[in-house]
């Protein structure tokens, strides 16, 4: 299929810039796979659409503060965007700046002052850490990063002078998608209420609509919850550039399907309940694991580059909760594989006509 077949026009004002409050007051477009019927609800009404014995499987990955500010030896400012941790000091990154060849050393900027107070007022301070020397003296040293090599995708492999993960909370900022231009007052609003495993650079946004009281009500009604982990990378959201979608190469993301979720899925299957994925990331984990077994599902952990396009045979899920996705994106292709491309096209045009909010902070759709 041609990538152009997954294009559509969206008025810019329909791109949600801020999250709606409360989370579960977002709108919900309901698409029935069997009939193609479309109806309109609020997300909190999803408890009326689910049945006792259904299982919702969500991604519990948590977004890390992946944006770092740095200074080159020339004094120029650059942004280091963390993509994937290789080891405790080495990360695959995107670095926005010129002439960042292997060997270039960057000084990370942060909140801990290591420069004279007179200059600190106009120049961002350097991130520092304390090191204990043999004589018992504690001195402050800057956190540095060295460019090791350029990656095949155009990024940079960077080694930090100290393990970075313990410092991220004070050095980094939450990475919002480029189509969101409004500052986020509360960084937790770009996390799901059940996020717990650090590792994503973008939120699994279908889960942003859930609140703790809504989850409690669903569980009281007999709807179960299971969790998988998929650490979301930027490539998931990038438009497909190849003319034919089959020529697109997905970058790998690390995922895990734990034994307790496998048990819940198998029990749900045997009892005749439905397995419903919360978001495309959860679906990719489930379908990756589903390809590896001929019988009941088994636990799985590893890297997945599964690219779900129309024609895919779904082995695990019966439906999914999702947001409205960018044109030409792998996510739009995935939902088209589940519901059928014509049905998704009708649903998107219906959402546009009815003024739905699109993308990460936008409204939701459930495909049943």
CB atoms within 10 A of CB 352: 16
115 pLDDT above the threshold of 90: no
Q: What is the pLDDT of residue 58?
A: 98
Instruction: Name the helix (H) or strand (E) containing 214.
Output: helix 212-220
Average pLDDT over residues 73-81: 89
CA angle 150, 246, 33 (to 5 degrees): 125
Lowest mean pLDDT, pick from 78-87, 223-232, 302-311: 78-87
Is 70 exceeded by the pLDDT of residue 326? Answer: yes
Joined together, the tokens standing for residue 308 give 């779900």
- Cα radius of gyration (the chain): 22
Six token digits for residue 293: 């077994």
Fold of 3-64+178-367: QueA-like (3.40.1780)
Q: Which CATH number fits domain 67-171: 1.10.10.10, 2.40.50.140, 2.40.10.240, 2.60.370.10?
A: 2.40.10.240
Top pLDDT among 217 and 241 is at 217
Model confidence at 236: pLDDT above 80 = no
Residue that wins the pLDDT comparison between 3 and 117: 3
Mean pLDDT of the chain: 89
- Mean pLDDT value of segment 217-239: 90
The whole-number pLDDT of residue 124 equals 57
Retrieve residue 259's tokens.
Answer: 């034994």
Nearest 5°: CA angle at 64, between 61 and 65? 160
3-state secondary structure of 278: strand
| Cβ pair 258, 36 in contact under 8 A | no
Q: How far apart are CA 327 and CA 237, in angstroms?
A: 10
Which secondary structure element, helix H or strand E, spans residue 140, and what is its range? strand 138-142
pLDDT score at 234: 73
Identify the pLDDT of residue 119. 43
Count CB neighbours of 357 within 10 A: 22
Q: Is the model's pLDDT at 214 over the cut of 60?
A: yes
Specify the range with the lowest mean pLDDT, choosing from 93-102, 172-181, 197-206, 343-352: 93-102
Alpha helices in 235-367 (DSSP H): 259-271, 280-290, 330-339, 341-353
Instruction: Please report which confidence band the pLDDT of residue 131 belongs to, taking 50, 70 and 90 as the band edges.
Output: very low
In which band, very low, low, confident or very high, does the pLDDT at 113 lie, cut at 50, 70 and 90? Answer: very low
- The shares of helix, strand and coil residues in the chain, as percent rounded to the nearest 5, are 25, 30, 45
* Structure tokens that stand for 33 in this block: 């796979």
pLDDT of residue 110: 75
User: Could you report the per-residue pLDDT of 158-212, keeping only the tens digit for each?
Assistant: 999 989 888 888 888 888 888 899 988 899 999 999 999 999 999 999 999 999 9
Percent pLDDT > 90 in the chain is: 70
- Cα gap 205→355, rounded to integer Å: 19
Specify the pLDDT at position 132.
43
Residue 339 has pLDDT above 60, yes or no: yes
> Do the Cβ atoms of 82 and 154 come closer than 8 Å?
no
Of 101, 323, 358, 339, the closest CA to residue 232 belongs to 323
In whole angstroms, what is the distance from residue 134 CA to residue 357 CA?
59
Mark residue 195 as left, alpha or beta (left: phi above 0; alpha: psi -120 to 50; beta: remaining): beta
The whole-number pLDDT of residue 100 equals 84
Q: Where are the domains of the chain?
A: 3-64+178-367, 67-171
Q: How many residues appear in the chain?
A: 368
Confidence at residue 178, expressed as pLDDT on a 0 to 100 scale: 84
CB neighbours of residue 21 within 10 Å: 9
Token pair for 341: 């491309």
Instruction: Estimate the crossing angle of helix 330-339 against helix 341-353, to 10 degrees.
Output: 110
Facing residues of 131 across strands?
139
Residue 127: pLDDT band (50, 70, 90) is low
The CA distance from 123 to 115, in Å, is 9
Confidence category of residue 250, pLDDT binned at 50, 70, 90: confident
- State yes or no: pLDDT of 364 exceeds 70: yes
Task: Specify the pLDDT at position 358.
Answer: 97
DSSP 125: P
Q: How far is CA 291 from the centre of its chain?
A: 22
What lies within 8 Å, CB to CB, of 74 at 6+ separation is: none
Residue 141 has a pLDDT of 59
**Cβ contact 334:308 at 8 Å:** yes
């Amino acid at each position: 299929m041609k990538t152009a077949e997954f294009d559509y026009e969206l008025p810019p004002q329909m791109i949600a810039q801020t999250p709606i409050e409360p989370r579960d007051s977002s709108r919900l477009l309901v698409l029935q796979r069997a009939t193609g019927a479309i109806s309109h609800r609020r997300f909190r009404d999803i408890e009326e659409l689910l049945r006792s014995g259904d299982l919702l499987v969500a991604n519990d990955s948590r977004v890390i503060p992946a944006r770092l500010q740095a200074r080159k030896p020339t004094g120029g400012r650059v942004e280091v965007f963390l993509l994937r941790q290789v080891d405790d000091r080495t990360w695959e990154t995107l670095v926005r700046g010129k002439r960042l060849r292997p060997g270039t050393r960057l000084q990370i900027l942060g909140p801990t002052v290591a420069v004279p107070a007179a200059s600190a007022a106009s120049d961002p301070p350097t991130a520092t850490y304390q090191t204990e020397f043999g004589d018992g003296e504690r001195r402050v040293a800057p956190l540095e990063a060295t460019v090791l090599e350029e990656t095949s995708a155009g990024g940079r492999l960077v080694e930090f002078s100290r393990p970075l993960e313990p410092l991220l909370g004070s050095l980094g900022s939450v990475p919002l998608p480029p189509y969101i231009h409004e500052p986020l007052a509360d960084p937790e609003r770009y996390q799901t209420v059940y996020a717990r495993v650090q590792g994503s650079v973008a939120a699994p946004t279908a889960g942003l609509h859930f609140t703790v009281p809504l989850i409690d009500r669903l569980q009281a009604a007999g709807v179960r919850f299971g969790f998988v982990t998929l650490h979301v990378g930027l490539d998931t959201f990038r438009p497909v550039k190849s003319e034919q979608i089959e020529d697109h190469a997905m970058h790998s993301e690390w995922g895990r399907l734990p034994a307790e979720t496998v048990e819940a899925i198998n029990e749900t299957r045997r009892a005749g309940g439905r397995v419903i994925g919360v978001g495309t990331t959860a679906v990719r984990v489930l379908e990756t694991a589903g390809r590896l077994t001929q019988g009941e599902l088994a636990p799985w952990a590893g890297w997945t580059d599964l690219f779900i396009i129309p024609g895919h045979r779904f082995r695990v899920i019966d439906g999914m909760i999702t947001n409205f996705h960018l044109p030409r994106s792998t996510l739009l292709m995935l939902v088209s594989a589940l519901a059928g491309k014509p049905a998704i096209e009708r649903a998107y045009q219906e959402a546009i006509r009815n003024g739905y909010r699109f993308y990460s902070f936008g409204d939701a759709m459930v495909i049943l």
